[in-house]
Structure 1
Amino acid sequence: MTSAGLPSGTARKVTMRGNPVLHRPCREVTEFGDELRRLVADMFVSMEAADGVGLAANQIGVDARLFVYHCPDASGEFRTGVVINPKLVPVPGQALMPPAEDEEGCLSVPGEYALLARPAVAEVEGQDVDGRPVRVRGDGVLARGLQHETDHTNGMLYVDRLSGPELGRVVKSLENRIRKGDLPAWSEGA
């Protein structure tokens, strides 16, 4: 994983489902400088420490519209980056492509996975750590990750896209694990 040009980072605690910062749209990033670079460095270290492939700022308790990623595309090539103020953009021909249904999980919903259909190709635009425009297009796990992390910046978790028995199963499992003390009800982050 590369975090070239970033200071050393510190791992932060991942916030859990139920924490209010995860359930509202994040604040747009307007200042680009050393503080943002430190945050991005902390996010890369936190993502790696949690064994994740993506991490949004609100997942470490920070109300800022950005995410980092280090995940494979459909060819297996790992791609790494940061997208600040992300927006999903339409992919030409997407309406003609069948969605890809795959198991999805989240560091903020630890240990729970569910089948979720998402577009097989995704493209997101935003800014890099210096405020320059960036556009990332991906397929495979990368496409799912770009959509998943952009959802986080909009205050949505993957479980919010579930319905019926699948949603009930995940919520019941989480509640049981919280009741047994295996998980905190939610954490403030660091």
Structure 2
Amino acid sequence: MNPDVKHMVKPEYPMELRRMGLTGMVQVKVDVNADGTVANPKIVYSTHPLFAGAALKVMGEWRFASRPLTGDNPQQLAVSVPLMFEIERERRAKRTEALQNIATATCLQLNREMSHYLRRDLYMPLAELTLFELTQKHLMDGFFAGKYDNESLALGLFDLSQSMLNVTNICQRRISRKFVDLLPPSVKALLESGGMAIKRE
């Protein structure tokens, strides 16, 4: 059983990423000492290196509930901590207004967003495209709701990141395809476990 967080310092949002309107997610693994202090933070997953750096900078200030060193209680407990970096709700609402349900979104929506950035000669990591970002958020929501364990989440996020280039390439050729149909089976399985209704092709 993981110890409760008593004092959580919120990471500072990287200024460069805030200006670009980028949101993200970081998962950190830490060892929690018996007195509640944190040791050995390690990044398990991050959508951007700047988010990872911001998370690591504050982890040493976190405090968990202390526990007695009696019986089988270990000196340290390994704890996984997910952190979300989100821009203001109003700005996010504008981006996601037409994309409330990724189960019905098509490649056309993904292509339009990519074209928007390409026309302005802006670099946009694939993970920050709205449909991929929403997919990550759905996966995290399912994890927080207890629909699947940490290992399943980590594998799903990895499979999603590995599939992004292939998904965007297919979408450029098949604009009418449903976005969710192109996602890896492991990702679709987690989305369904989290409560999303996905119609099979």
Q: TM-score, normalised by structure 1?
A: 0.25
Q: Larger Rg: 1 or 2? A: 2
Structure having the larger proportion of residues in strand? 1
| Higher RCO (CA-CA < 8 Å; seq separation 6+) | 1
